[in-house]
């Protein structure tokens, strides 16, 4: 089978160029992961690539696991799909003994705790929140490649810690880390880059091993990551980058979309392909997304792959206050789940997105009152949940004992032994969360191949845990806009579209507001079929709707006053 089969014209144009610099400008939902995996598979099939000499770089372990899984499905094995940190750490551990004559330093497991010890040495007593903010400043300083003395010139302060004290604390943190012979995550990248720059034999070995690079989410690279990538490449030019400037939402952490936008300037002969056919969202949703990003730098104009797809017009609803907004959203979701206006919707097809975690509290209470179970994205990972770990251990133990029961019955019996019931507890609270997790494991067993065994199932669960391939729970999803990036749902509610929340109150510069606009864009483009945006008044001075709603305009959003008697009035 030709790896290019099944790609659309734009995807094929990107995938068939397997040598030289390539930039794939991929809009939301345009199949970028499909494109780059098929491109790698095509390069291997035609003999251009040797799999173990290909490095595919991502920003999360989950994304790396998905890349490996898709390549395995195309019988491509051996490609190194890793995060920047994982790739750098592997090289550091391999070369450090040769270069330094000793084992590599250990990695700091808790930056905030180490900072607290450093603060003690200076007789400072900042709270945990302040220490987290200091840790974020340390990370930003390092990924933007600023020495401490250069950072000091910025005159920044954090909470109760003034500019001079902050610099002293950063210096004390570095000294304590050196005394304990430890590196933090950013040091891993810095040390790997320094080793390649200063040790020619290391540079030669690395560049001999990895000859072809693919970088996903290139709009999110920091100056440090870009520098390390340049060192890995050396004089070679076999690099493919893929990204979307409209989804740059980590500028606060050092990401710079300029590396993506100026790729064609750095490589004048680069092949640049735009992916604008969206396979996720219906046309009404795409009109909203395009209107929001109209004329922004690097913006792609998304077109629906299926133009005749039926979908409701996106709606914006105004509520009296935050409690009314939460209750209104919960009521609307209850209607979807019950099939009030058509076929019932399953819970995992619904998501509520918001700018900050604080907005979720009234929402969770409202959902509980309406009997709707919800999972908060970005909380405890599925395979780290105590109930899930306990269940996997019990399944592994049961796998060694003979049984006359069918495979699915045996799994159900193990889960019942751990307290699982056929009936779900009331929505809200730890009991329902634990029940939903065990139920997700049971569904995996029911969906497994007919002749599966307990041992095979247990091994499969461990493999899923390693790749962070989490099963979908039968709950609706609650997530911040940052956590929702890369995901999709048929039905999305975007709440809190008011000034002070989206854009957030501390976004005062044009650059900061643009970042908030891109966050809103990410939220909008998560929706496949229906999109509802809402905002609430109720503050002492009267909260105003987000400026982004005015930018989108009434051509694409149907405005409804949720405060009106009778449940909604067109405005």
Phi first, then psi, for residue 275 (nearest 5°) are: -100, 110
- C-alpha dihedral over 87, 88, 91, 97, to 10 degrees? -150
CB 393 within 8 A of CB 383: no
Binding residue per annotation — 33?
A: yes
Tokens representing 470 are: 């989490």
Q: Which residue has the tokens 């809103």?
A: 520
Q: What is the DSSP string of 396-422?
A: HHHTTS--SS-HHHHHHHHHHHTT--S
28 is in an annotated binding site: yes
The answer to whether 26 is a known ligand-binding residue is: yes
- Please answer whether residues 490 and 538 qualify as being in contact, where contact means their C-beta atoms are separated by less than 8 angstroms: no
What's the per-residue H, E or C state across 25-58? EECCCCCHHHHHHHHHHHHHHCCCCCHHHEEEEE
Looking only at the bridges linking them, the beta strands covering 374-376 and 476-480 are: parallel
CA-nearest of 96, 133, 119 to 176 is 119
Distances (CA, A) of 160 to 171, 272, 564: 18, 48, 45
569-570 sheet: strands from edge to edge: 374-376, 476-480, 350-354, 489-494, 527-536, 315-319, 558-561, 569-570
- Least Cα distance to 39 among 85, 61, 71, 62 occurs for 71
Residue 30 marked ligand-binding: yes
Q: What is the DSSP string of 535-566?
A: EE--STT---B-HHHHHH-TTT-EEEETTSTT
Total Cβ atoms within 10 A of residue 223: 17
What phi and psi, each to the nearest 5 degrees, are found at residue 174? -65, -40
Query: Dihedral sign, CA of 232, 238, 242, 248?
Result: positive
Helix (H, G, I), strand (E, B) or coil at 169: helix
Specify the DSSP class assigned to residue 60.
S
Do the annotations mark residue 523 as ligand-binding? no
Q: Is 29 annotated as a binding residue?
A: yes
Give the Cα separation of 248 and 260 in Å (integer): 10
What are 391's two structure tokens? 């269940």
Q: Which residues, 6+ apart, have CB-to-CB distance to 364 below 8 Å?
A: 374, 376, 428, 478
**Distance set, CA 483 to CA 248, 355, 448, 537 (Å):** 13, 10, 29, 26
Give exposure, 116-155, as e/b (b: 16+ Cβ within 10 Å).
Answer: bebbeeeebebeeebbebbbebbbbbbbebbeeeebbeee
Binding-site residues for ATP sit at 26-33
Binding-site residues sit at 26-33
């Amino acid at each position: 089978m030709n790896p290019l089969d099944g790609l659309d014209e734009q995807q094929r144009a990107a995938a068939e160029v397997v040598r030289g610099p390539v930039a794939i400008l991929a809009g939301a939902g345009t199949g970028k992961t499909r494109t780059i995996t098929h491109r790698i598979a095509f390069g291997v099939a035609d003999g251009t690539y040797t799999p173990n000499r290909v490095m595919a770089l991502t920003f999360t372990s989950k994304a790396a696991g998905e890349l490996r899984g898709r390549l395995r499905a195309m019988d491509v094995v051996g490609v190194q799909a890793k995060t920047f940190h994982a790739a750098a750490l592997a090289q550091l551990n391999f070369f450090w003994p040769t270069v330094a004559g000793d084992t590599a330093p250990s990695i700091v497991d808790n930056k905030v705790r180490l900072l607290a010890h450093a603060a003690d040495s200076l007789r400072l007593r900042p709270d945990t929140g302040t220490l987290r903010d200091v840790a974020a400043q340390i990370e930003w300083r390092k990924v933007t490649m600023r020495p401490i003395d250069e950072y000091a010139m910025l005159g920044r302060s954090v909470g109760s810690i003034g500019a001079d004290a902050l610099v002293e604390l950063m210096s004390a943190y570095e000294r304590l880390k050196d005394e304990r012979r430890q590196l933090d995550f950013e040091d891993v990248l810095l040390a790997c880059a320094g080793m390649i720059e200063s040790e020619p034999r290391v540079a030669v070995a690395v560049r001999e091993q990895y000859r072809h690079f693919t970088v996903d989410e290139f709009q999110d690279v920091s100056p440090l990551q870009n520098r390390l990538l340049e060192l890995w490449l050396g004089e070679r030019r076999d690099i493919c980058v893929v990204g979307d400037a409209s989804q740059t939402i980590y500028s606060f952490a050092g990401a710079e979309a300029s590396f993506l936008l100026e790729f064609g300037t750095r490589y004048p002969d680069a092949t640049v392909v735009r992916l604008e056919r969206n396979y996720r969202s219906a046309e009404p949703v795409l009109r909203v997304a395009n209107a929001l990003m109209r004329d922004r730098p690097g913006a792609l104009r998304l077109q629906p792959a299926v133009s005749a797809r039926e979908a409701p017009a996106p709606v914006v609803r105004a509520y009296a206050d935050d409690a009314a907004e939460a209750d209104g959203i919960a009521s609307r979701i209850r209607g979807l789940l019950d099939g009030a206006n058509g076929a019932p919707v399953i819970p995992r097809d619904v998501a509520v997105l918001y700018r900050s975690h604080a907005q979720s509290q009234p929402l969770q209470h409202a959902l509980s009152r309406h009997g709707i179970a919800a999972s908060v994205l970005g909380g405890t990972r599925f395979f780290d949940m105590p109930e899930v770990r306990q269940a996997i251990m019990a399944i592994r133990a049961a796998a060694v004992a003979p049984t006359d029961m069918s495979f699915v019955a045996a799994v159900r019996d193990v889960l019942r032994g751990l307290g699982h019931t056929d009936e779900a507890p009331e929505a809200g609270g730890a009991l329902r969360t634990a029940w939903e997790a065990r139920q997700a494991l049971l569904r995996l067993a029911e969906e497994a191949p007919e002749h599966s065994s307990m041992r095979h199932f247990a091994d499969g669960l461990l493999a899923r845990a390693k790749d962070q391939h989490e099963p979908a729970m039968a709950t609706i999803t609650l997530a911040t806009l940052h956590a929702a990036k890369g995901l999709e749902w048929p039905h999305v509610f975007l709440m809190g579209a008011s000034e002070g929340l989206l854009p957030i109150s501390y976004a005062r510069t044009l650059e900061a507001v643009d970042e908030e606009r891109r966050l809103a864009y990410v939220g909008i483009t998560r929706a496949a079929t229906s999109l509802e945006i809402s905002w609430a008044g109720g503050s002492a001075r009267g909260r105003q709707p987000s400026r982004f709603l005015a930018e989108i305009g009434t051509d694409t959003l149907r405005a409804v006053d949720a405060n009106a008697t009778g449940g909604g009035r067109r405005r």
